[in-house]
Amino acid sequence: MNIAIDVYYTATGAKCVGVLFNWLDEVAVETIITFVSPVDEYVPGQFYKRELPCILAVLEKMKLTSLDAIIIDGYVYTDNQLSYGLGGHLWEKLDEKVPVIGIAKTKFMGNDKTVVPVTRGGSKVPLYVSAIGVDVADAADKVKNMSGAHRIPTILKELDKRTKE
């Protein structure tokens, strides 16, 4: 089982949502919702400090040993020298026990050797997949084959929708 986690910030805190799923699922097996307040202010270059407590709040509600991977909206590495982004910091915080896969919608300058661009559906605009604890090519293949006919897999679209509700 995998979990994809997304966070939506409000004026007073954050809504944190995780969906449990198997790679080919169209519908989440389970949804976990929690709220975190207060949250740190956004600091350029240190986004993980704001987002990480929110992701951990979702993960506290489950057994980590039941997970094959954690999928986040963002990058594992911020550059080709393997400096950690959100995914790397999460991996480290979890004592390197659960693989983390980052799926980013926008290209990040300077980390082209740590990501695999994945095009899906009829889109010419790729998703950018990075990973730690699992082979990045394998992670990219799994993302490419997720359910859904469009650029964003169905499970991740549903996650985004539930996060913003």
Does 45 or 53 have the greater pLDDT score? Answer: 53
Consecutive H or E run containing 164: helix 154-164
- pLDDT for 68: 97
Mean pLDDT of 44-61: 94
Q: Is the pLDDT of residue 109 over 90?
A: no
- Phi first, then psi: what are they for 162, rounded to 5°? -65, -35
Return the bridge partners of 117, or none.
128
Mind listing the pLDDT tens digit for each residue in 116-145? 999 998 899 999 999 999 999 999 999 999
The band of 46, judged by pLDDT with boundaries at 50, 70 and 90, is confident
Residue 99 CB neighbours (<10 A): 22
Domain boundaries in the chain? 2-164
Q: What's the CATH superfamily of 2-164? A: archaeoglobus fulgidus dsm 4304 superfamily (3.30.2170.10)
